[in-house]
Amino acid sequence: MLRILALLTILFTIFITPALSATAKPVVVFAGSASQPPLVEAAKAFEEKFGIPITLHQGGSGAMLSQVLLSGQGDLYIPGSPDYMDKARELDLIDGEETNLAYLIPAILVPKGNPLQIRTLQDLSRPGVRVGIAEPESVCVGLYAVEIMQTNNLADKIRPNLRGQVESCAKAAAMLPLGTVDAVLGWREFATWNPQAMEAILLKPEEIPRLAYIPAARLRQATNPEGAEAFVTYLKSEDGQAIFRKWGYFTAEENARMLAPSARIGGTYNLPEGW
């Protein structure tokens, strides 16, 4: 027993103490997975530059929202899409305006080398192609996928090919490298995270009815609103936006528009009956 305690103390001193000894009050961020890679990097850069630590909790946007709601904690909410920001606003959790950090463009994702030669949305309805999407009711990227299939009148044809509707947009991205499916209707940005594992097949501009973006907003319950504000300002600064671009996101509307000139940005879409 004594030995265990001693070991604990040593481990504690080595690993935990540095984390605890940070002087400035940390900014607690709850973020959806859609922005995980750039946010991790940006948080590190921000800490180094300003000396304010960022505590970054990540998961499904909905799960993060539940935790914010239940715990009454958190300074900043950065969901993976505007829908969850609307929900958070309905729950009266948001203080002030949201900031648009980057755009998310719907695309078809295939494994590196595109073994099944999928070129168009139409190809997803080919027999034997296993298609993955996220769960449309709770995950935004799933809803976008359904909207694309519906507006292009391919829903009935692609639907038999659907395998597994996963519960987070991040898991949708992981289905490809695991070999569970042959193609995923997801965000183009998934491919830019993992260029060695997958590639994105862009949809035709007219096939994209709606674009998503990553919003950030301060929480009403924030105990460190200044820090939260500073972090958002940093993310929106040239340095911060560069990190998003580095991970393949579009940060300017006109660039995103080039891929989908007629698409709406944000807004709502009601899931049709039967999904």
228 scored as a contact of another protein (CB under 8 A):
no
51 lines the binding site for another protein (CB under 8 A): no
Tell me which DSSP letter residue 234 carries.
Answer: H
Angle formed at CA 246 by CA 252 and CA 134, multiple of 5 degrees: 80
Structure tokens at 163: 């395998």
What's the min distance (Å) between Cβ of 265 and another protein? 25
Q: Please identify which residue in the block is written with the tokens 């671009």.
A: 245
Q: Which is nearer to another protein, 11 or 271 (CB)?
A: 11
Question: Restricting to residues 152-181, which ones interact with another protein according to CB under 8 A?
Answer: 168, 170-171, 173-174, 176-178
For 23, 35, 128, 189, 193, the CA distances from 213, given in Å and listed in that order, are 34, 10, 33, 11, 17
The C-alpha atoms of residue 268 and residue 275 are separated, in whole angstroms, by 16
Of the pair 59, 266, the CB lying nearest another protein is at 59
Give the pair of three-digit tokens for residue 45: 């850069």
19 binds another protein (CB under 8 A): yes
Among 41, 45, 50, 55, indicate the residue that binds another protein (CB under 8 A). Answer: 55
Would you count residue 61 as binding another protein (CB under 8 A)?
no
CA 194/CA 156 separation, integer angstroms = 31
For position 197 contacting another protein by CB under 8 A, the verdict is yes
What does the block give as tokens for 92? 């009266």
What amino acid is encoded at 220 in this protein? R
Q: For another protein, which residue of 14, 23, 127, 160 counts as binding (CB under 8 A)?
A: 14
Asked if 219 contacts 136 with a C-beta cutoff of 8 angstroms, the reply is no
Q: At its nearest, how many Å lie between another protein and the CB of residue 275?
A: 24
Footprint of another protein (CB under 8 A): 1, 4, 7-8, 11-12, 14-16, 19, 28, 30, 33, 36-37, 40, 55-59, 66-67, 70-73, 168, 170-171, 173-174, 176-178, 190, 193-194, 197-198
